[in-house]
Chains A and B, each alone.
Chain A
Amino acid sequence: MNGTWSDPVAWATLAPLFALAGALANGLFGRRWPEPLPGIVAGVAVAAAFAVSAIAFVGLIGRDAGVALTLWSFLPVAGLDVSVGVVVDALSTTFLLVITGVGLLIHVYSVDYMRDDEDNARYFALLNLFVASMLVLVLADSLVLLFVGWEGVGVCSYLLIGFWFRKKANADAGRKAFIVNRIGDAGFVLASFLVAATFGTLTIAEVNAQAGTFAFGAGVLTTIGLLYLVAATGKSAQFPLHVWLPDAMAGPTPVSALIHAATMVTAGIYLIARLSPLYAQAPAASAVVAWVGVLTALIAAIAALAQTDIKRILAYSTISQLGFMFVAIGVGAYAAAVFHVFTHAFFKALLFLAAGSVIHALHGEQDVRRMGGLGRRMKLTGTTALIGTLAISGVPLLSGFFSKEAILGGTWNSTLVEDYGSRVLFVLLLATAGLTAFYMFRWYHRVFAGPSRLTKDAAAKVHESSSLMTVPLVLLAAFAALAGFLGLPSFAFPNWFKGWLAPALAQVPTLHPPLWVEWLLVLASIVVAAAGLFAGWWIYERGKGAIAAKAGGGALGRFAEGGLGFDAAYRAAVVGPAEGVAGGLAIADRDLLDRGIAAGVTGSSLIGRAVAAWQSGYVRLYALAMFLGLAALAVVAAVVGGRP
């Protein structure tokens, strides 16, 4: 497993350095560069990272073991011997390709999208810094270095959400994301402490190897699994820490596509996949992962039904799709989870960039109630968005169909969480898949189809975006359509993706029901997708949205639109009390502790008089007091201590 630089696979180590160099160049000098040089420099950096990732991918095909490289010692303390080192294997390389590949397209798109922004260079510096951090996260060979990337992407996310910081709401959204993520990070840190205490190491490969020797279901593995789950719910916006992601839409739309759809939010799935040998030994923790996932998927899908902001609908959709991935990773269908990360990266990045194209054309308009019919004026954007919509809805042969089917089948056939209601999980997830098709149809229809609800001014200015923005859309649409064929249903067809990832993931036994059951599961997911789309058509095309308007105006509609009341509840139950306690402590510290001690001390007359005396020349008197103290030391030492 130990590699050397002569192995081309190891060159993937350079990927984060390329991105970091791009970030530094833009951060230090970009402000003086003529536009579009900042974007070009940033794009070239990511292209270089993509190139070494692709080399690693080619080099790894047909090889079982990955390549590990230790760079320098980091925390050589108490036998932990944590190094800065990388592992390039099938799992990390899959993520490398997604991050740099989708990342490159989004950089290209950004060149035009951010063309008129005065802080162009800051934008590209942060985008590159994000890519560098994310690459560190997926390449790390230890949990400590993984955490370096983990918090690095959090910081970049924070800065990019609040990119337009002059508006308070944007800065607030960034702050909220950072604090919620910090709550999750506390789980990460505590989990790592427990790992160190249990295994005596923080190197991922050693942790996984040792976890395999523990008893199935050992309590400590469950605890570790649950603590890392806390971290994953923060970063991947899962219940109950999902509340930051809808607000994160305050950032520029390409940021939403890259960070808050395709890459960073999948870090939680990556973490658990990376530790899959540990989770495979911890069925209770895995079951909690799956249940968190299915609850999140359902909650977010319901919230998505009622949103009116073109990006917020997609944000809730992302939360919901991440929930699907959590179910997969919880039931032990690790390859299916990563496969959905892979396909989702294409169709969700596509949907966000299409939304960005619309927002661009409408000069900042984001309310779908003032859109409609745009597909006729923006043919490329509309067509690619349709492909994305159908892919996420699970229309057969598009990528989302295959990855979602793999998750549903994996849930039905799970042995890992068989005792924790795997069949109920399946039913809830299937229903959510139907909701997904419905709310995505609604999204597409409100934006691109039906009659135009644009103001006259806006309608006059609508235009298709430039090719810098549409070429990425077309490429992403191609992948969103075709990527699924890499992972055909494995009960009947060759599944290349599963085989490729197999060496890097734990293998959990699954149930093998009769073939007709497997086909029935496929049929079920086709039926719910069709039903969801049909219901959308029935309500929004045929019924002109009248029923929806009525439902949306009711109490339930408002409840869903407000994200099911989580923000309000947290404000009342957590934020308010915490601020109250902090404020109370601040007052107590000054008025009780400080004044109390002062009163106690100065109250005694002796010290009071001493203070009065000192007030004239305290420093000199202090010198005198110190001299006397030293003299005392000398005398006492001489008398008591004596010579040896």
Chain B
Amino acid sequence: MIAALMVLLPLAVALALPWAKRPAVHRPLAVLGVAATLALGVFATGGAGSLEIAWVPALGTWFAVDATGAGGVLARIAAAVMLPTVLWAGARVDDRPQVFLAWLLATLAGLVGIFLARDLVLFYVFWELTLLPALAMLAGWGLTHRRAATIKYLLYAVAGSFAMLLSVLAVRPLSGAEGYRFDQLLAAAPLLDPLTQTWIFAGFAFAFAIKLPIFPLHVWLIDVHEQNHPSGAADVAGTLYKVGGFGLFAWAMPLLPEGANALAPLGLALGAFTAIYAAMIATRHANLKRALAYASLSHMGIVAVGLFSLHLAGQAGSMALLAAQMVTTGGMFLVSGMLHDRRGTFELEAFGGLARGAPALAAATLVVLFASVGVPGLANFPGEFLSLLGAFQSAPAAAVVAVLASIALGAFAVGLYQRLFQGEAREKAREIKPLEVAVFAPIVALTLWLGVAPAANLTVFEREAVAAHAAAAAVAPPADAQASGGER
């Protein structure tokens, strides 16, 4: 029951916010809504963590949600990152802040739905619903070229959705599953013949590859980040919404193991290429937000590499990396908003020397930035290391290419830090202020926690990957050789 409330509560707050008349209540209400969602997430364990009620029996769909698995972990972390985001957005968005906050809450509701849904139709509905707030924030609060960026985003999203819709429509009738619930599909879909699996998997993978994104389906991402509201809050929402990797992990790969096998080489190749391609571009970019967008694209390449390794360490690691980048990439977009506050632009040439006036801002940024490029002891490292370790076991060449990307990402991080914070300042920068400290606090705390004690989350991720491999092996005995390749 609590799991269902995790979806409904932020949705209710989102619906209430635009009607709240007094501006003073907007931000507290939004923060409270997110905090309550997070609190629910903490208590959504055991029996209270899942719910199953028939939704449209004629269609075989259920309102089935579960917060005790991998999705539950991601939902909690998404809520935790949303907390500083609404805090920040409430103060930084001047134009109709209550509506902007409502869209952020709606994003959270949609995300929680995506992560907790245990019914494919429900998953698809949340997947689509969450696009609305993303588009609305871009179209309503973006910069000058927001229109072009919105259309581009929309076209890519629609193309992906269409492909996924076909796969959703196809999977149940073709497999003869009793319904759209995950366990019902899992009992039937892996039995499909490899060719059919491959086609259905391809439909999912196309949608997920756009949403990850990976090369060459990524171009919408860069413009979206560049054109979003300069507070960076919408970019955080966008970062949390990079759920393609989760879709592969939780749906496409368990249900269609043969399809995953068939397309794994392509996924590995594109993932590894994305990782190094985007990291190299990130080192050369003169615009802060575009540089961050490319760096985050590079992480997504590593997520893809880990997933398509079809190895336990790689798959569990890719989910850990997905969780970590919510915090660190999201955190960097919040930093971009703070920097925009100080210089009024994202062009890097306007920056430099900020560490002198704002040493605490520099130090906090350094922690998040270095975490994002996989410095050990901080958030991204466990996931990145395991993703690549898994890839190395099944496709050493892809792993080597992706490891080389970490050199470029390191160069990106120190290059960016130098251009922002080092050197001589043209004018003295303002030091971090209490609101910014409050925004940083949860981000830095999560960065350290995910970096120092990742074991609990990894155990959950691995348990789910093991279950998927085992289910595939049990249902389709002759074809399990590669799918369970990760087990020792």
Does chain A bind chain B? yes
Interface centre among A31, A78, A583, A643 (most CB of B within 10 A): A78
Interface size on B, residues (CB 8 A): 91
Interface string of B159-181 (1 = CB under 8 A from A): 00110010011001100001100
Q: Is the CB of A593 within 8 A of B216?
A: yes
Q: Is the CB of A634 within 8 A of B59?
A: yes
Q: Is the CB of A166 within 8 A of B151?
A: no
Kindly state the separation between the CA atoms of A622 and B160 in the bound complex, as whole angstroms.
13
Q: Is the CB of A614 within 8 A of B154?
A: yes
Q: Is the CB of B219 within 8 A of A643?
A: no
Write the nearest CB–CB distance from A16 to chain B, whole angstroms: 11
Q: Is the CB of B406 within 8 A of A182?
A: yes
Kindly state the separation between the CA atoms of A640 and B414 in the bound complex, as whole angstroms.
56
Q: Which residues of B contact A73 (CB under 8 A)?
A: 455
Q: Which residues of A contact B145 (CB under 8 A)?
A: none
Q: Which residues of B contact A185 (CB under 8 A)?
A: 406, 410
Do A165 and B132 form a contact, CB below 8 Å, given A75-B386, A178-B414, A641-B172?
A: no
Interface string of A147-163 (1 = CB under 8 A from B): 11011100100110010
Q: Is the CB of A175 within 8 A of B415?
A: yes
Q: Is the CB of A615 within 8 A of B151?
A: yes
Kindly state the separation between the CA atoms of A31 and B362 in the bound complex, as whole angstroms.
14
Do A162 and B422 form a contact, CB below 8 Å, given A193-B389, A589-B219?
A: yes
Q: Which residues of B contact A72 (CB under 8 A)?
A: 453, 455
Kindly state the separation between the CA atoms of A319 and B147 in the bound complex, as whole angstroms.
57
Interface string of B98-132 (1 = CB under 8 A from A): 00000000000000000000000100110011011
In the assembled complex, B155 has its CB within 8 A of some CB on chain A: yes
In the assembled complex, A460 has its CB within 8 A of some CB on chain B: no
Q: Is the CB of B165 within 8 A of A75?
A: no
From DSSP, what is the main secondary structure of chain A's interface residues? helix
In the assembled complex, B324 has its CB within 8 A of some CB on chain A: no
Q: Is the CB of A581 within 8 A of B280?
A: yes
Write the nearest CB–CB distance from B114 to chain A, whole angstroms: 15
Q: Is the CB of B281 within 8 A of A586?
A: yes
Within 8 A of B (CB), among A589-644: 589, 593-594, 597-598, 601, 607, 611, 614-615, 618-619, 622-623, 625-626, 629-630, 632-634, 636-638, 640-641, 643-644
| Stretch from A194-202, A268-276, A394-402, A529-537 that touches the partner | A194-202
Within 8 A of A (CB), among B270-298: 277, 280-281, 283-285
Do A582 and B132 form a contact, CB below 8 Å, given A171-B418, A182-B407?
A: no
Do A165 and B411 form a contact, CB below 8 Å, given A78-B311, A197-B393, A618-B135?
A: no
Write the nearest CB–CB distance from A489 to chain B, whole angstroms: 41
Q: Is the CB of B407 within 8 A of A183?
A: yes
Kindly state the separation between the CA atoms of A632 and B124 in the bound complex, as whole angstroms.
13
Write the nearest CB–CB distance from A565 to chain B, whole angstroms: 23
Among the listed A151, A175, A183, which residue makes an inter-chain contact with B414, where contact means beta carbons less than 8 Å apart? Answer: A175
Q: Is the CB of B392 within 8 A of A190?
A: yes
Kindly state the separation between the CA atoms of A643 and B165 in the bound complex, as whole angstroms.
20
Write the nearest CB–CB distance from B211 to chain A, whole angstroms: 15
Write the nearest CB–CB distance from B404 to chain A, whole angstroms: 6
In the assembled complex, B71 has its CB within 8 A of some CB on chain A: no
Q: Is the CB of A165 within 8 A of B421?
A: yes
Summed over the interface, the residue pairs from A and B with CB atoms below 8 Å come to a total of 217
Kindly state the separation between the CA atoms of A150 and B385 in the bound complex, as whole angstroms.
15
In the assembled complex, B36 has its CB within 8 A of some CB on chain A: no
What is the chain A residue whose CB lies nearest that of B216?
Answer: A593
Do A632 and B136 form a contact, CB below 8 Å, given A75-B386, A166-B422?
A: no
Kindly state the separation between the CA atoms of A338 and B370 in the bound complex, as whole angstroms.
32
Interface string of A573-590 (1 = CB under 8 A from B): 000001101110110010
In the assembled complex, B488 has its CB within 8 A of some CB on chain A: yes
Q: Is the CB of B455 within 8 A of A76?
A: yes
What is the chain A residue whose CB lies nearest that of B389?
Answer: A193
Q: Which residues of B contact A598 (CB under 8 A)?
A: 152, 219
Do A77 and B422 form a contact, CB below 8 Å, given A601-B155, A618-B150?
A: no
Write the nearest CB–CB distance from A131 to chain B, whole angstroms: 15
In the assembled complex, A179 has its CB within 8 A of some CB on chain B: yes
Q: Is the CB of B59 within 8 A of A186?
A: no
Q: Which residues of A contact B408 (CB under 8 A)?
A: 582
Q: Is the CB of B455 within 8 A of A583?
A: no
Q: Which residues of B contact A632 (CB under 8 A)?
A: 165, 169
In the assembled complex, B24 has its CB within 8 A of some CB on chain A: no
Interface centre among B216, B410, B423, B458 (most CB of A within 10 A): B410
Q: Which residues of B contact A643 (CB under 8 A)?
A: 58, 60
Among the listed A171, A585, A619, which residue makes an inter-chain contact with B422, where contact means beta carbons less than 8 Å apart? Answer: A171
Interface string of B311-329 (1 = CB under 8 A from A): 1110011000000000000
Interface string of A315-336 (1 = CB under 8 A from B): 0000000000000000000000
Q: Is the CB of B281 within 8 A of A585?
A: yes
Among the listed B58, B366, B392, B486, which residue makes an inter-chain contact with A193, where contact means beta carbons less than 8 Å apart? Answer: B392
Q: Taking A147-B376, A578-B280 as given, write out 16 further A-B residue pairs in contact, using a Cβ cutoff of 8 Å, ordered by the A residue number.
A: A74-B382, A75-B386, A144-B385, A151-B375, A172-B418, A174-B414, A179-B410, A189-B403, A611-B155, A619-B132, A626-B161, A637-B59, A637-B60, A637-B169, A641-B59, A644-B179
User: Which 9 residue pairs across A and B have the least CB separation, nearest first?
Assistant: A193-B392, A78-B313, A182-B410, A165-B422, A582-B280, A148-B376, A73-B455, A171-B422, A594-B219
A-B contact pairs, 11 of them (CB 8 A): A72-B455, A78-B386, A122-B359, A174-B414, A179-B411, A190-B399, A197-B393, A589-B277, A615-B147, A619-B139, A637-B172
